[in-house]
């Protein structure tokens, strides 16, 4: 698996001032591998050490689970104003969550909003972006993330 070495992520490093360099490196690698074991293998350390660094990141960033880390990493690194200039921050966050989870029921569970409200908001986003289908919003997100981060 190809991993971007965190030492090349200078701009992103400045977006997480509360993290130590070791925590930031672990966070970047973890967000790319989505695995404690693979992160430990890549960083040539013990899985216990990775878990400790990730837990410290969660505490400092105020998130409770791994998904929260992925979401905050995307929110801070991918400027929604560039990717989606017509969307509000709330709409962009909902789109990020939907793209990561890929399922309206899971989004509803995570956010606490009724599924119908999530669906209505996604329809509004779809119309705003002039996308043909709600399910294509996920692909739109991935493509724009690639373009604006590449």
Residue range of the domain that includes 60:
6-76
Mean pLDDT of 122-149: 88
Q: Is residue 139 part of a domain?
A: yes
Q: Which long-range contacts (CB under 8 A, 24 or more apart) does 70-76 make?
A: 70/31, 70/34, 70/100, 71/96, 71/97, 71/100, 73/27, 73/28, 73/31, 74/100, 74/145, 76/12, 76/15, 76/16
pLDDT at residue 91 in the model: 93
3-state secondary structure of 113: coil
CATH number at residue 21: 1.10.10
Q: Is residue 1 part of a domain?
A: no
Task: Look up residue 140 and give its two tokens.
Answer: 């739109």
Query: Which one of 26, 45, 76 terminates a domain?
Result: 76
Please state the length of the chain. 150
The model's pLDDT over 104-130, given as tens digits with 9 standing for 90+, comes to 999 999 889 999 999 999 999 999 999
Mean pLDDT of 92-109: 90
Same domain, residue pair 68 and 92: no
pLDDT at residue 1 in the model: 56
Mean pLDDT of 8-37: 91
The model's pLDDT over 40-64, given as tens digits with 9 standing for 90+, comes to 999 999 999 999 999 999 999 999 9
Query: Which one of 44, 76, 108 terminates a domain?
Result: 76
């Amino acid at each position: 698996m190809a991993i971007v070495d965190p030492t090349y992520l200078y701009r992103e490093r400045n977006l997480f001032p509360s993290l130590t360099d070791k925590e930031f490196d672990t966070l970047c690698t973890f967000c790319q591998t989505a695995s404690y074991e693979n992160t430990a293998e890549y960083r040539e350390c013990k899985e216990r050490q990775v878990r400790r660094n990730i837990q410290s990141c969660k505490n400092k960033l105020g998130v409770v689970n791994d998904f929260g880390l992925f979401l905050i990493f995307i929110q801070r690194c991918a400027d929604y104003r560039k990717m989606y200039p017509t969307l509000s921050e709330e709409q962009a966050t909902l789109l990020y969550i939907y793209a990561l989870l890929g399922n309206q029921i899971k989004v509803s569970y995570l956010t606490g909003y009724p599924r119908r409200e999530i669906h209505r908001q996604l329809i509004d986003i779809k119309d705003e972006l002039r996308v043909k289908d709600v399910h294509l919003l996920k692909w739109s997100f991935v493509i724009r993330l690639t373009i604006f981060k590449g």
